Chains A and B, each alone.
Chain A
Amino acid sequence: MVDIEKIEKRTVQNFYEDGLVEIAVGLIFVLLSAYFFSQTIIPKGSSINAILTGLFIIVLVSSNFLGSRFVRFFKRRIAYPRTGYVAFKKKEQSPKRRAAAAITAGLIGASVAALYGLSSSTKALMPALFGLLLGIAVFFIAHRIGLVRFYVLSAISAVIGVAVAVAGVEEMRGIFFYYAFFGASVLFSGVVTLVLYVRRFPRLPADAPEGPDAH
């Protein structure tokens, strides 16, 4: 008997089986950590600081676009010649889903803004807040997709965030450590997944009987 739900779930999981999404997300986090690190060494109010702040907004806004471009580019070169071409449906955002996303974004924004107004010792808790919020988000993604390594990444996010906060690292340096360690973890997970994927699925020769141009 064909298990339809299992087939549907496995098809969704296939999108993540090459690790390219994690590599893209990991790189974005490492890039953000570099920004936060620069904030710890460049004097506030300097022109370089102003330029970096402007660049940060551009990176934030374009990270989604750049990330999806990155994934598409490498899928075309690495994944499709090995396991075939597949384009996934773009999820239509229902008004309920949009409202939930807006409320979540608002709550996160309000929490972060509230933390800025607090004392520096309370601000040191920001990495824990980032770690837990992102950990919860990754946990929900893991639950939806059903991939174990995403549960592990969710736990890593929470552990790194709390550990950096407990270590009492100064606010901006703490955020830098969180983004750097979590970004490196996601990147590492992606690279390992990609290496295993490439080993498991060798590139098919163009003239192979079951190859991409055999039909």
Chain B
Amino acid sequence: MPTDLHGLADIDRLIHEPARLALTAILSVVESADFLYLQRETGLTKGNLSSHLAKLEEAGYVAIEKTYRGRIPLTLVRLTDAGAAAYKAYRARFKRFLEKA
């Protein structure tokens, strides 16, 4: 069990937080998504979503692009290569931990 706990202690805490985990899980499947889509899927408030995305962006896990569709502003979010690798590693490590537990 201590070995298992060591494995768990090494997991990426930035991704492990439930809201950010949900965000990275969604972004791992899509090419990019806008703010509205992520808000609807996660059920987060606008402020919460912005805050979690800012943390992920700061870590270099997501890229946020502010653009326009016609005259409508659009905030597009996508997982970076570093974010995809971190999510993949987190997923594998957590799966291993659950299998051992």
Q: How far is the CB of A12 from chain B (nearest CB, A)?
A: 6
* A211–B30 touching, CB < 8 Å: no
* B22–A212 touching, CB < 8 Å: no
Tell me which residues across on chain A come within 8 A of B6, comparing CB atoms.
Answer: none
Chain B residue with the shortest CB-CB distance to A204: B36
**Given A4-B21, A7-B22, residue A84 in contact with residue B50 (CB < 8 A):** no
Chain A residue with the shortest CB-CB distance to B31: A87
Which of A's residues lie within 8 Å of B, judged by CB? 1-2, 4, 7-8, 10-12, 14, 80, 83-90, 204, 206, 209-215
**Which B residues from 17 to 42 make CB contacts under 8 A with A?**
18, 21-22, 25-26, 28-41
Give bound CA distance, A52 to B32, whole Å: 41
Q: Would you mind naming 26 contact pairs between A and B with Cβ atoms under 8 Å apart?
A: A2-B25, A4-B25, A4-B91, A7-B22, A7-B25, A7-B26, A8-B25, A8-B26, A8-B29, A11-B29, A12-B29, A83-B40, A84-B33, A84-B34, A84-B36, A84-B38, A85-B74, A85-B76, A86-B33, A89-B29, A89-B30, A210-B39, A212-B73, A213-B73, A215-B73, A215-B75
Which of B's residues lie within 8 Å of A, judged by CB? 18, 21-22, 25-26, 28-41, 46, 50, 69, 72-76, 91, 94
Tell me which residues across on chain B come within 8 A of A80, comparing CB atoms.
Answer: 34, 69
Q: How far is the CB of A15 from chain B (nearest CB, A)?
A: 9
Main secondary structure of the interface of A (DSSP, over half): loop
Give bound CA distance, A14 to B76, whole Å: 17
* B72–A206 touching, CB < 8 Å: yes
Give bound CA distance, A39 to B39, whole Å: 51
Tell me which residues across on chain B come within 8 A of A88, comparing CB atoms.
Answer: 29-31
Give bound CA distance, A210 to B33, whole Å: 15
* B18–A2 touching, CB < 8 Å: yes
**Given A7-B26, A11-B26, residue A85 in contact with residue B37 (CB < 8 A):** yes
Give bound CA distance, A87 to B76, whole Å: 10
Q: How far is the CB of B30 from chain A (nearest CB, A)?
A: 5
* A86–B91 touching, CB < 8 Å: no
Sample of 16 more A-B contacts, CB < 8 Å, known A2-B25, A7-B26, A84-B36 = A8-B28, A10-B41, A83-B36, A84-B35, A85-B33, A85-B36, A86-B30, A86-B37, A87-B31, A88-B30, A209-B46, A210-B36, A212-B72, A212-B74, A213-B72, A213-B73
Chain A residue with the shortest CB-CB distance to B37: A84
Tell me which residues across on chain A come within 8 A of B94, comparing CB atoms.
Answer: 4
Q: How far is the CB of A146 from chain B (nearest CB, A)?
A: 13
Tell me which residues across on chain A come within 8 A of B22, comparing CB atoms.
Answer: 2, 7
Give bound CA distance, A211 to B36, whole Å: 7
* B46–A215 touching, CB < 8 Å: yes
Tell me which residues across on chain A come within 8 A of B39, comparing CB atoms.
Answer: 84, 210
* B21–A2 touching, CB < 8 Å: yes
Q: Which of A80, A84, A90, A206 has the most CB of B within 10 A?
A: A84
Chain B residue with the shortest CB-CB distance to A89: B31
